Structure 1
């Protein structure tokens, strides 16, 4: 299931290499998220979400952080757990 949203991107990190003979290649985007409602919760936190390979990091590494972005996200599952990933991310022009 895909859906569109707008997020505040706080930072990003590329990871590429090999660990124990297995290759890895990903981009992690850190974004602003609201804490859940509750008596012991208040404010916002930085959360993380995956965005494909390290190639995507190159698209946003020179942005001025934090920045607003339009995103297309998708919920995917392996049959046991469900995660949300970014399919597309486009920085919103600053005014």
Structure 2
């Protein structure tokens, strides 16, 4: 099943090269997510999580936005059941919306 969500992209990384003789090419989007509490303790705030999409050419579509990061984007994910109660999200498309304007007085949700 596919779901679309508004996300905040904090960073984008291009990876190109070879490893053990095999070529690789990818783009990783670091998107903001809530930090979930677990059995090891409490948590506050938000973190980024990496999502790979396409090859290194995807980076070129976003390179002009470097100074505008973080920025809002519309992301489409494939959502699949994972072990136990987990869900696996795979990024299948992403499109920038606008620049995020930091608000120093705003508290984390």
TM-score normalised by the shorter chain: which range applies? Answer: 0.7 to 0.9
Q: Which runs of 5+ in 1 are unaligned?
A: none
Q: Which runs of 5+ in 2 are unaligned?
A: 82-86, 101-109
Secondary structure of the corresponding residue to residue 61 of structure 2: helix
User: What TM-score comes out, normalization by structure 1 length?
Assistant: 0.83
Q: Which structure 1 residue ranges, 4+ long, deviate > 3 Å from structure 2?
A: none
Larger Cα-atom Rg: 2
Distance in structure 2 (CA, Å) of the matches to 1:55 and 1:27:
8
The answer to which structure has the higher strand fraction is 1
1:11–1:2 Cα change, 3 Å: same
The answer for the alignment partner of 1:90 in structure 2 is 95
The CA deviation at 1:20 is: 0.8
